[in-house]
Amino acid sequence: MNVANSVEMHQIVKLFGQVTANDRVDFSARTGEIHALLGENGAGKSTMMCMLSGVYRPTSGDIYIHGEQARIRGPKDAMKLGIGMVFQNFRLVQTLSAAENIVLGERSSYWRGGRWLKAKMEEIEALADRFGLPFPVDRPIWQLSVGEQQRVEIVKTLYRGANIIILDEPTSVLTPGEVEQLFFTLLHMKSEGKTVILTTHKLKEVMTVADRISVMRKGRMMHTLDKCDTDERELARLMVGKEALSETQHLPRQGKPGHTLLDVQGLEVMADHGRKALDRFDLAVRAGEIVGVAGVAGNGQRELAEVLSGLRIWKSGSIRFDGEPLANGSVRGAIEAGIAHVPENRMKSGLAGSLGVVDNLLVKSYAKASRSKLGWMRRSDNRSWSQALVEQFDVKTPDLDTPVRSLSGGNQQKLLFAREIDQNPKLMVAVHPTQGLDVGATEGVHRLLRELRDNDRSVLLISEDLDEIMRLADRIVVIYGGSIAGEVAREHADREQIGLWMAGMRRDEEEVDL
């Protein structure tokens, strides 16, 4: 064993029924390094890390921690060995506060009174500030943004004393500023001698922060390289078997958009914790265009998507859709009007993880005559219809009965798009639609959105990824403080101005400050 390695995994095989997720994989990570595990969705990198963290047990192979062979039979064993993992789909109790989630399960977490909990909250706040990951420790998880919830997960791992820290696609829910702060945190961990393993598919981020890079493809380890010996083009070739472009050219619509499909006037919406999320908000979306909504997380984007999809009521203002008033707080009303929704967190509010492919596809169409008769489901027809959608949208699944939580993130997202697009929507509300997806899956989602637009459907693209908005949107609006801070056609878009709008400023205001 190499004593410089904190982790060594030899000839790891993991089978799920007839599916081989990992095929004789060797992997090692050194003490005091940031090691990126790179690969497309479904490449097997998350499965490898789940075995290291005790979520899965390998079918065969050996694991060594600091030179000693380890039997990791569950997360408790991993924790004792100093291994902590921050999952892409968070493991948090929504009704408990951030602090309660962090102390949950430790021996001293039995109720000791308000003074004890206050002391714990102060300890957690100090740790979060030390690593530059602040969040409201006393607020319930369900009231926190996705970015804040991820900070809770990272701080929970640090709080429990992990020295081998695994982060599964950690930047997929973060703004550019938050990504920079996360990188600072990772470097801080490295300086303290911790081993950081970063599973990702983002080439730029790998080249920014990693010391070494291991590339997986189709369940096998392809190469391990020092960052100084490679570049983005080579990594893309190793990852997907071909060269991939880091930027995709904006492809504008041919012809002008049609009538105003969505007309939002003076909308006022309250957030979960009582503050005003949208304040006198106006927005128009025309048929046959992609409107990109840019902004830093927490400025009303989530509430806007929930209002349009019927998941949240609005306090005042009006919404007209295709010339008719939209029902307030009615999911069924939104579906019947022709509004599709790809939510921010696909496994929380988009898909039912314990159900199979067929049941997830039927969620919005089970009452149609083609899907059921007199309350009885058309079983054979529904399976044939589901199989056709799986093939059309290239969803990789062992069979139609496989629980969707077992699918890779990219295949979950393709399944979600298959269901929504099959409803033939007039408007697609897509929130972070490529979050956590690899290069190939991202290109596929972008193609689906462009096809909707080119078929005179509309897309409201809500994303914190400015590059994605610049590639896709025909018109860009920037939301700040629950209102529109600025609007510009894509051909006149200026990144500097958009950045200032996202910060609640204008260029002339910045010049005055200078």
Strand, coil or helix: what is 377?
A: strand
* Average pLDDT rounded to a whole number, residues 205-213: 91
Check: pTM over 0.75? Answer yes or no: no
Report d(CA 286, CA 24) in Å as an integer.
52
Report d(CA 364, CA 216) in Å as an integer.
36
Asked whether residue 145 carries a pLDDT value surpassing 90, the answer given is: no
Domain boundaries, the chain: 1-71+197-241, 282-507
Q: 433-454 burial, b for 16+ CB within 10 Å, e for fewer?
A: bbbbbbbbbbebbbebbbebbe
Report d(CA 17, CA 397) in Å as an integer.
12
For residue 29, the cross-strand partners are 7
Rounded to 10 degrees, the C-alpha dihedral 409/415/418/421 comes to -60
Asked if the 282-507 domain carries CATH number 3.40.50.300, the reply is: yes
pLDDT for 197? 95
Asked whether residue 40 carries a pLDDT value surpassing 80, the answer given is: no
Asked whether residue 110 carries a pLDDT value surpassing 70, the answer given is: no
Angle at 488 between CA 477 and CA 346, to 5 degrees: 30
* Average pLDDT rounded to a whole number, residues 481-508: 79
Which H or E run contains 11? strand 5-16
pLDDT for 441? 78
For residue 283, the cross-strand partners are 264
* Average pLDDT rounded to a whole number, residues 393-420: 91
pLDDT for 184? 87
Most confident of the following: 55-64, 176-185, 228-237: 55-64
Please count the CA atoms within 13 angstroms of the CA of 327 that sit on its side-chain side: 14
Report d(CA 283, CA 301) in Å as an integer.
12
Report d(CA 420, CA 399) in Å as an integer.
20
Mean pLDDT of the chain: 87
* Average pLDDT rounded to a whole number, residues 180-184: 85
pLDDT class of 418 with cuts at 50, 70, 90: very high
pLDDT class of 172 with cuts at 50, 70, 90: low
Q: What percentage of the chain has pLDDT greater than the value 90? A: 54
Q: If we measure between CA atoms, which residue out of 38, 63, 41 comes closest to residue 414?
A: 41
Rounded to 10 degrees, the C-alpha dihedral 205/206/211/217 comes to 160
Angle at 357 between CA 355 and CA 359, to 5 degrees: 60
Amino acid at 333: G
Report d(CA 425, CA 186) in Å as an integer.
42
Q: Given 3.40.50.150, 1.20.1580.10, 3.40.50.300, 3.40.50.720, which CATH number is that of 1-71+197-241? A: 3.40.50.300
Asked whether residue 511 carries a pLDDT value surpassing 80, the answer given is: no
Query: Pick the residue with more confidence: 513 or 461?
Result: 461
154-168, 247-261, 413-427, range with the lowest pLDDT: 247-261
CA-to-CA separations, 321 to 287, 420, 428, 458, 475, in angstroms, rounded: 11, 18, 13, 12, 19
Note the pLDDT tens digit of each residue in 342-385.
998 888 889 999 999 999 999 999 999 999 998 899 999 999 99
Asked whether residue 27 carries a pLDDT value surpassing 80, the answer given is: yes
pLDDT for 513? 36
172-176, 267-271, 481-485, range with the lowest pLDDT: 172-176
pLDDT for 503? 62
* Average pLDDT rounded to a whole number, residues 126-152: 86
Which H or E run contains 155? helix 146-159
Determine contact, residues 6/65, Cβ cutoff 8 Å: yes
Strand, coil or helix: what is 455?
A: coil
CA-to-CA separations, 245 to 47, 219, 443, in angstroms, rounded: 27, 23, 10
**């400025």: which residue's tokens?**
299
* Average pLDDT rounded to a whole number, residues 67-94: 89
DSSP 140: B
pLDDT for 507? 45
pLDDT for 264? 97
Asked whether residue 108 carries a pLDDT value surpassing 70, the answer given is: no
39-53, 323-337, 353-367, 387-401, range with the lowest pLDDT: 39-53
Question: In the β-sheet with 290-294, what is the strand arrangement from edge to edge?
Answer: 339-342, 427-431, 458-462, 290-294, 475-480, 483-489
Question: In the β-sheet with 316-321, what is the strand arrangement from edge to edge?
Answer: 276-286, 260-270, 316-321, 324-325
pLDDT for 505? 60
pLDDT for 356? 95
* Average pLDDT rounded to a whole number, residues 304-320: 95
In terms of C-beta density within 10 A (0-12 exposed, 13-18 middle, 19 or more buried), how is residue 192 classed?
Answer: exposed
pLDDT class of 2 with cuts at 50, 70, 90: low
191-195, 229-233, 251-255, 260-264, range with the lowest pLDDT: 251-255
